[in-house]
Amino acid sequence: MPEVYTGVTALPNWTLYLAVIVGGVAGATYAARRGFDVIGVLALSVTTGLGGLLLRDILLGRGPIVLRDNAFIWSAVFAAVVGFFFAGYIARFDRPLLGMEALAMGLLATVGADSALRAGLGALPAIVVGTIVATAGPLFRDILGGDAPQLLRPGVFLGVIALAGSALFVGLDAWTHQPLLSQIIVIIAVFATRVIAVLSDWETRPADDLSDRMWSYWSRKSESER
Amino acid sequence: MIEPIQTIALPNSMDALAIGVGAISGALHARRRHMDVMGILVVAFCAALGGGVIRDILLASGPPVFLTSSVFLIYAFVGATIGWLFSRYASRATMLMEVIDGLFIGVWVLVGATKALSNGLGFGSAILVAVITATGGGVLRDLFCGEQVSLLLPGQWLAAAALVGALTFTTVFWTSGDLFLAEILCIVVASTIRMVSAAFDVRTPMPMDLSRVLSRSKA
């Protein structure tokens, strides 16, 4: 049995617990808003908070750390209690919560990419794992809540930032060989991008289709040749 | 118990074709739901690689194939990009993609079944793993689009074709012990059922309520 690797390079473990709490609170308030009961709040808090880390360990083929270290479960349960009793307050403080979520996303992306690299995977798979770890929680939340996932719909700038953050971490790590430094840089970069995106109302658009543009380009070209 | 059998490895070009086509159809599906770029990427990756990921997780044999060999990721990425940027052209080739898809359903069943057997699972579990390998991608795609899973709705033979293919494979392999024969028959049976169902719009059987028939015959 390989030893359990938490994926934290040098940042203390409580940063991960905090990320779980932030994700869990977001999941719990979502459940409270949708009118779910106690079990619904608990389930959504646990899946949203722990989903990414759980999926990481499943993908890397080892025993999930969130089941080995009880503090993870308790963090998610704490988040559920907070969300169950104080959903109204939390909804009023949505801006600070958004900032916390941005920090958590950067942390999770770097932790995911880093643990994939240490499991001996290549750069491209590490980027994918980082993106999955950072975004799986909200994705599970929306699927369980019966919504089309917010991550995939045009509008909120989320998945692209997670993807770019993971790629940036893998690049910086290969360049500087200093995981902690690259991790901190990426967390700050992700946080800054997310906050700027929210403040200046950047939105993703539905995807473009280049076929028409290429078609008109070709037809114009052939006409001018004629 | 039979001796452990070799997992078959497909030639690279076939892998590329199957995964690329899966990714293109996933990307087109996401486009029809007006998703953004990230949505198209995620749905395309799920449709192309999802079945294999679920299989590898179930077999608990280390990281899934798509993480250990990056070429799969590149194939899926190329397919997703084609479906994203050139959807108008790609959707004209729907017919061609369905044919390729139909040809490969037997291959996925086969890969799943042999991998399960070589991991020491029994025949029953091998059938389950094989069907999941062949159909898991579509289930993940529907879940991520927030829709009803089309696998469970009445329609053409898709999962049913995979199931029959898996049954054929295990039965032939069990009775004759000839791996090659079982592989060929599995691909032929599954693909034929899928194609015939698509061409003539053959529907899967619906549940029949026998209790009504029985009570009427008694009266």
Q: How far apart, in whole angstroms, are the C-alpha atoms of residue B33 and residue B202? A: 27
Q: How far apart are CA A163 and CA B63, in angstroms?
A: 20
Tokens representing B190 are 């599954």
Q: Is there a contact between B85 and A121 if contact means CB atoms under 8 Å apart? A: no
Q: Does any CB of chain B come closer than 8 Å to the CB of residue A94?
A: no
Q: Which residues of B touch A152 (CB under 8 A)?
A: 30, 35-36, 38-39, 42-43, 144-145
Copy the structure tokens of residue B197: 């169902």
How far does A94 lie from chain B, in Å, by closest CA?
A: 24
Smallest CA–CA separation between B189 and chain A, in Å? 33
> Following DSSP, what letter does each residue of B83-152 receive, concatenated?
HHHTHHHHHHTHHHHHHHHHHHHHHHHHHHHHHHHHTT--HHHHHHHHHHHHHHHHHHHHHHTTS--TTT
pLDDT, position A10 = 57
pLDDT at A9 exceeding the cut of 70 = no
Confidence check: pLDDT of A1 > 50: no
Asked whether the predicted pLDDT for residue B52 surpasses 50, the reply is: yes
Give B-chain residues touching A116 at CB under 8 angstroms: 67
Residue A57 Cα, gap to closest chain B Cα (Å): 9
* A122/B70 touch (CB, cutoff 8 Å), yes or no: yes
Question: Given CB atoms, is A99 within the 8 Å cutoff of chain B?
Answer: no
Band of pLDDT at residue A46, cut at 50, 70 and 90:
very high
Provide the whole-model pTM: 0.80
Give CA–CA dist A182/B34, Å, rounded: 35
Structure tokens at A116: 């994939």
If pLDDT is split at 50, 70 and 90, which confidence band does A2 have? very low
pLDDT at B92: 81
pLDDT-based confidence at residue B90 (cuts at 50, 70, 90): confident
A68: helix, strand or coil: helix
Residue A76 has pLDDT above 80, yes or no: yes
Under the banding of pLDDT at 50, 70 and 90, the label for residue A205 is low
Q: What rounded mean pLDDT belongs to chain A?
A: 83
Asked if B36 and A59 come within 8 Å (Cβ–Cβ), the reply is no
**pLDDT-based confidence at A170, cuts 50/70/90?**
very high
A97 touches chain B (CB under 8 A): no
> B166 pLDDT band (50/70/90 cuts)?
very high
Residue with tokens 């029809």: B32
| Percentage of chain B exceeding pLDDT 70 | 93
Portion of chain A with pLDDT greater than 90, in percent: 23
Predicted pLDDT of residue B197: 86
Under the banding of pLDDT at 50, 70 and 90, the label for residue A75 is very high
At A193, which amino acid appears?
A: T
Compute the distance between CA of residue A21 and CA of residue B210 in angstroms, rounded to an integer: 52
* Residues B13, A189: Cα–Cα separation, whole Å: 39
The closest CB to that of A152, out of B53, B70, B144, belongs to B144
pLDDT range class, residue A4, cuts 50, 70, 90: very low
Phi, psi of B24 (to 5 degrees): -65, -45
- B91: nearest CA partner in chain A: A211
Whether the pLDDT of residue A130 is over 90: the answer is yes
What is the full DSSP assignment across A43-88? HHHHHHHHHHHHHHHHHTTS--HHHHSHHHHHHHHHHHHHHHHHHH
What is the pLDDT, as a whole number, of residue A143?
A: 87
Question: What is residue B54's three-state secondary structure?
Answer: helix
A176 three-class SS:
helix
Q: Do A159 and B40 touch (CB under 8 A)?
A: no
On the question of pLDDT at B146 being above 50, the answer is yes
Q: Report the residue of A209, A214, A216 to disrupt the B interface, i.e. the one with the largest count of B CBs within 10 Å.
A: A209
